[in-house]
Chains A and B, each alone.
Chain A
Amino acid sequence: MAPGLLWLGLFFILPNIQMVVMSLSSGTLRQGFELTWEFGNYTDAIGRFPDNFRNSVVYGGLATFLCVLVGYPLAYGIAFRGGRYKTFLLFLVVAPFFTSFLIRVISWRIILGDQGIFLAVVRDTIGVVPANFSVIGTPLAVVSGLTYQFLPFMVLPLYVSLEKIDGRLIEAARDLYAGPSGRRGTIGGALAGGLVGAALMLGLGYASLDADGIGGLVGATVAGALGGAVVATIFISESFLRIVLPLSLPGVFAGSILVFIPAIGDFVNAEILGSPKTQMVGNVIQNRFLQQNDYPTAASLSFVLMAAILVAIFVYARLLGTDELTGGRAA
C-alpha cells in the first residue's frame, strides 16, 4: 500500500495541488502569478467557453458510442471466430499504435481531404454528396479521428470480457430453445438504429430540430431504423441478448471509460482535422497555456473538465453498476 500511496502523492496529488493553486491565482507571466483566491477564474472558465464544452461532450460521447458500435462486432469476431488467428488479429488492432499519434492524425487529414480517397469514393464515384461537400474542418472529421485513435482502447477490454465467456452457456441456451431474436428483436433493433441515426445527424451538425434540418433528421432516423431492424433480425439471437451481451457489459463499461476520458480531453484531432468551429475544451486549455500564457484560466478549465468527467463516469457507473467496474461480480 505504502509505495502506491507515495506514487499517488508524488505524481497525482502534488501536481494537482500545484494546479489548484494556479487556478485560483491571478497575474501575468511577466510579473508572476500570485494566489489571490480568484474564484472568478472558475465562473469565467464555465461561462466563456460553452461551445467548446459542448463540442467536447458531443464529440467525445459520439466517438465513444461509435467505438462501441465498431469495436463490439470486431471484438466479438476475434473472440468467437478468431480461432488460431486470435493473437494475430489482436496484433492488427494494436498495430497502428506503432506509429506516432500525430502521424496517424495527419494521415486522416489526407484521407479525408478534399482530394482524398474518402471523398473520391463517396463524392466522385458514388455521388451521394454534393460536389462542394467537405469533410475536413467538420465535426465528422473530428469524430472520425477520435473514433479511430481510441478504438483499440475499446476493443481490448471488450475482447477480454467476451473471450472468457463460457461457450457452454451459449450451447445450454440453444438447448433450451433460444432462437433468433424474433419480432421483439426486430423492433428493438429498429428503435436502436433510429436513435443512432438521429444522434449522429444531430451530433455531427448535419441536421437540426428547426424547419431546415428536420428533413435530414427524419431521413436519418428512418434509415437508421431500417438498418437496425435488418441487423437485429439477421445477426442478433436470443442467446446473444440473454447470455453474451450481459456478460460482456463490464468490457463495454471499461472500454467506454478508456475511450471517453482521453477523447473528451483531446485537442490534437480538433486542431488538425477541425476548423475554428469544432474546437474542444482541450484546444482552449492548450491555447491558454501555450499561446496566451493565461495559466490560471487554463488550470481552472482543466479542473472543470475533470469534474465534468467524474460526474459523467459516476452517472454511467450508476447505470451499469459499479461492481462491474471493479470486476467484482463478473469475475
Chain B
Amino acid sequence: MDTNEPTPPRLIGRRTMLKGSALAGFGAFLAACSGGATKTATPSSVVSSQPPASTAASPSVEPSASAVGEQVPTGPLKFANWDAYIDVEDDGVTSPTLVEFEAEYDVKVEYANAQIEDNESFMATIRPQLETGVETGWDLIVLTDWMAAKVVEAAWVEEIDPANVATAVANVRDELRGLPWDPDMKYHFPWQSGATGLGYNSKSTKRELTKIADLFDPAFKGKVTLLTEARDTFPLVHLALQAQGKASANKAGAMDAADAQVVHDFLKPLVDGDHIRAFTGNEYLKDFGSGDTWAALVWSGDLASSAGDNDVFAYPEEGSMIWTDNMLIPKGAKNKYTAELMIDWVYDVDRAARLANWVYYLSPVKGVSEAITKLDPEAGANPLLFPPAEVVAKQHPQPNWDEATEKTVNELFADLTGV
C-alpha cells in the first residue's frame, strides 16, 4: 500500500458529474483532468502498485515459462458480469481495473458486460455444459448468493487455490466469511454487495418516492417495472403489504409459499390492469433512459453509476433486500490461474475503492471505506456506499427457499409474468 498513484483522477469527475451536483462536479472534473496528464505520464507507478505482491501468487511476468510447475497466466480471460458493475472511463468501455490487469500480467481480458441479466437465465446458458462436464467458455462468473450456493453444492466450480489469492484471503470482510454453503471460501469470493430498493425518475414522477407502496400509485400506471428475480420482487412486495397489515408477520427473508400467494394475489390485478408494464433485469437502465419507466424495483448502485440526473435510488421505508454477488470459476475453466489472479487483483484496497466508488455498490474488501473517503471526500455522505444505520436495521437477506417452495414461487411468478 505504498502508493495511491493508480487511482485515475478522472473517476472523481465521472462520479460527481453523474450525481448531478453539476457545477461542483464539473469543477472537480476539470481539476482532475488537468492533473491527469502528469500522473499518467508515469505508468511505471501503476505497475508497481501490484498488491502486497510478496506472495507466491504472482510469478514473474518474464517468460520463464519453461520452469516446471510454475504457473503462467493464460488468456484470454473470459469474464462474465452484470451491467454497470465495473469502473469505466468516460468512453464507457475502458476499465482501468482491467486495463491495468492486462498490462501487469500480459494477458487479455474479455470482459462480457451485461452478459448476466439475471441469475436463472444466465445459468440456463451454461447449465447443460456443466452437467455434461464440458467447458462453459467462461473463466470467471458472478452469481448472487443463493445461486452461487446451488452451483457450489452441485460441484460445478473449480476450487480456488488460496496461495494464488492471498490478498483476497487477507482482505475479505469478516462478516462475509464462514457462509454455510462455502465456510472456508474454497470456491467463491464476493464481488460486490448491494441492496434492492426503489428507483424512480423524479422528473417524471413529480414527487419523491419513499415507500414500495408508492410504486402502486395509480398516477404511475404503465410506467412501473418490477424485477425478474423472484427473490427480490416477492419479499419487497411482502414488506409493503406487511406495512399495511395485509401480509403475515414472517420476515421477508423467511417468507413461505403462502406469503408468496398473498403477494401474487396483490400483484395480479396490477399486471392485468396494465399498471405494471414489465418484469426486467438490468434492462431497467434502458427503460429509465428512454422514459418508458418512471418507477421500479432496482439494484442500489445502478442508477447512480449509469443513469440520468433525475434517476434516484431510495431505500424504501418498509425495508430493503441485501445480497452479495460472488465470483466463481466454473468447472473446467481454461484459464483458472488467470481467474484467480483476477480475484486477487480486485481485492487490492485501492483498486477495490476505485471500483466501488464507480459502481456505487458495497465492496467486500476491508478498509475500503477509508480508501474511498480519501479518494473522494464527498463519498462519505453517500448512502449507497455507506448505508445509514436505520437503513441497515431494516435490511433483509434474500429468502433461501427449499425446492418445493421454490417451485411454488416460480409457478406463481410465471403466472405474473404472463408465462
Query: Which residues of A have CB within 8 Å of B403?
Result: 28, 30
Chain A, residue nearest B411 (CB): A292
- Does B120 sit within 8 A of A, measured CB to CB? yes
Chain B interface bracket (under 10, 10 to 19, 20 to 34, 35 or more): 20 to 34
Chain B, residue nearest A29 (CB): B127
- Does B247 sit within 8 A of A, measured CB to CB? no
Q: How far is the CB of A243 from chain B (nearest CB, A)?
A: 47
Residue pair A137, B290 in contact (C-beta under 8 Å): no
Chain A, residue nearest B153 (CB): A30
- In the complex, what distance in Å separates the CA atom of A114 from the CA atom of B277? 12
- Does A328 sit within 8 A of B, measured CB to CB? no
- Does B276 sit within 8 A of A, measured CB to CB? yes
Partner of A134, one of B120, B222, B271: B222
Known interface pairs A276-B278, A284-B419; A113-B120 also in contact (CB < 8 Å): no
- In the complex, what distance in Å separates the CA atom of A136 from the CA atom of B272? 15
- In the complex, what distance in Å separates the CA atom of A330 from the CA atom of B289? 52
- Does A116 sit within 8 A of B, measured CB to CB? yes
Residue pair B277, A283 in contact (C-beta under 8 Å): no
- In the complex, what distance in Å separates the CA atom of A114 from the CA atom of B222? 10
Residue pair B274, A113 in contact (C-beta under 8 Å): no
Enumerate B275-292 residues with CB–CB distance to A below 8 Å.
276-279, 286, 290-292
Residue pair A278, B418 in contact (C-beta under 8 Å): yes
Residue pair B121, A132 in contact (C-beta under 8 Å): no
- Does B389 sit within 8 A of A, measured CB to CB? no
Query: Which residues of B have CB within 8 Å of A279?
Result: 417-419
Residue pair A290, B418 in contact (C-beta under 8 Å): no
Known interface pairs A137-B274, A291-B410; A113-B417 also in contact (CB < 8 Å): no
Q: What's the count of A-B pairs with C-beta under 8 Å?
A: 77
- Does A183 sit within 8 A of B, measured CB to CB? no
Known interface pairs A114-B292, A137-B222, A277-B274; A289-B124 also in contact (CB < 8 Å): yes
Residue pair A291, B418 in contact (C-beta under 8 Å): no
- Does B416 sit within 8 A of A, measured CB to CB? yes
Enumerate A278-310 residues with CB–CB distance to B below 8 Å.
278-279, 283-284, 286-293
- In the complex, what distance in Å separates the CA atom of A136 from the CA atom of B290? 11
- Does B112 sit within 8 A of A, measured CB to CB? no
Residue pair B291, A137 in contact (C-beta under 8 Å): no
- Does A275 sit within 8 A of B, measured CB to CB? yes
- In the complex, what distance in Å separates the CA atom of A276 from the CA atom of B292? 15
- Does A125 sit within 8 A of B, measured CB to CB? no
Query: Which residues of A have CB within 8 Å of B418?
Result: 51-52, 275-279, 283
- Does A110 sit within 8 A of B, measured CB to CB? yes
Residue pair A291, B277 in contact (C-beta under 8 Å): no
Query: Which residues of B have CB within 8 Å of A109?
Result: 286, 290
Residue pair A290, B121 in contact (C-beta under 8 Å): yes
Q: How far is the CB of A52 from chain B (nearest CB, A)?
A: 7
Q: Which residues of B contact A (CB under 8 A)?
A: 120-121, 124-125, 127, 221-223, 271-272, 274, 276-279, 286, 290-292, 403, 407, 410-411, 414, 416-419
Could you list some 15 contacts between A and B, CB below 8 A?
A113-B290, A115-B290, A132-B221, A134-B222, A136-B292, A137-B277, A276-B271, A279-B417, A287-B417, A289-B124, A290-B124, A290-B125, A291-B121, A291-B124, A292-B411
Q: Please list the 3 inter-chain residue pairs (A to B) with the smallest Cβ-Cβ separation, ordered nearest first.
A: A276-B418, A290-B124, A279-B418
Q: Which residues of A contact B (CB under 8 A)?
A: 28-30, 49, 51-52, 106, 109-110, 113-116, 132, 134, 136-137, 275-279, 283-284, 286-293
